[in-house]
Amino acid sequence: MLRFAPSPNGYLHIGHALSALANRQMADALDLPLTLRLEDIDRSRARPQFEAAIVDDMSWLGIGWTPPMRRQSEHMAAYQAAMDGLRARNLVYPSFSTRREIASTLRDPGVARDPDGAPLFPGDEHIIGIEETQRRRRTDAPAAWRLSMTAAASTCEDLAVTVTDAAGVPRSTLSTDPLAWGDVVLARKDTPTSYHLSVVVDDAVQSISHVVRGADLLAATAVHKVLQSLLGLPTPLYHHHRLILGADGRKLSKSNGAASLKALRENGVSAADVLQKISAFTAGPAR
Ligand code: GLU
């Protein structure tokens, strides 16, 4: 089983169409079903109109998928159960610093950063101080929950994942480096889960055998591998397709002017035009 897993936080653009097509092509090559998963845990950003547009975009492109569609927001109990297991094993800890406090303390451009460019979390005591950390703990202040990455990675015997080519044929082994991420957030103050936790739980619950997604998520595979190992979940095979870059050389986003599929459609661009443009990107090096 494969999955296309967009977040209904905005309208999809041509980069998402590429991911959907790469999934469809591998599913066809392997004769496996492709399902649609809405990664809608961020309730402040998910909107029904974006969800409806995803379904419209898929049918406009002619990219079929097998129902039912899974909405992550309907499965919070499953993520909470996984978190409870990690808490019981002391592999996660509450973290009280706010995003703003972290950003304002770790402003120095020379500070150690994770593969996404965010500062590595040094511990609350280095952000808000020991006394304030203790005060927040005593008063049960709202906390995010972070994975103790060094402890977690040390329990993981095998940090390698198998990567396939675009047709799903295993081609190589990728050794992952979870320590590069530091103590990632697994549950937020206002949401009992995070992208990393939900994605590994769902990939297992949905029996996803092949994960096809953009190269921007390649490094995150390290976190997913550790979580699969901790939670006793199987590790799928991975394929990370090339990204379509914007004129500024960065991955497509609304902020660098990527037009939504909806806007292209409304402006008379045909699905065939879009498919032709993206099909050059679906083949490519296996990563
Ligand atoms: N929801 C993620 C995104 O829209 C994709 C997650 C994944 O494929 O693992 O970028």
SS3 31: coil
Q: Mutate which of 195, 202, 235, 253 to test ligand 1's pocket (most atoms within 8 Å of Cβ)? A: 195
Distance 220 CA to ligand 1 centre (A): 10
- Mean pLDDT, each 10-residue run in order, the chain (287 residues): 97 96 98 98 95 97 98 98 97 96 91 94 97 98 98 95 97 96 96 97 98 96 98 98 84 76 94 92 68
Phi, psi (deg, nearest 5) at residue 144: -90, 160
Instruction: Using only the alpha carbons of the chain, give its radius of gyration.
Output: 20
Q: Which of 1, 3, 7, 206 to mutate for ligand 1's pocket (most ligand atoms within 8 Å of CB)?
A: 7
| Residue whose CA is at the smallest distance from ligand 1 atom 1 | 6
The residue whose two tokens read 């004129």 is 247
In this prediction the pTM is: 0.95
Q: At what angle do helices 14-30 and 271-282 cross, to 10 degrees?
A: 70
Q: Label residue 267 exposed, middle or buried (CB < 10 Å: 0-12, 13-18, 19+).
A: exposed
pLDDT, position 97: 97
Residue 129 CA to ligand 1 center (angstroms) comes to 35
Atom of ligand 1 nearest to the CA of 220: 9
Looking at the chain, how many residues does it have? 287
> Ligand 1 in contact with 7 (CB < 6 A)?
yes
The per-residue pLDDT for 286 is 55
Check if 186 has its Cβ closer than 6 Å to any atom of ligand 1: no
- Residue 146: the pLDDT is 98
Q: So what's the pLDDT on residue 279?
A: 86
DSSP, collapsed to helix, strand or coil, labels residue 2 as strand
**Within 13 A of 76's CA, how many CA atoms are on the CB side?**
12
pLDDT at 252: 78
CA–CA dist 4, 63 (Å, integer): 11
| CA 5 to centroid of ligand 1, rounded, Å | 5
Residue 156 CA, ligand 1 centroid: distance in Å:
24
Atom 2, ligand 1: which residue's CA is nearest?
Answer: 6
Amino acid at 173: T
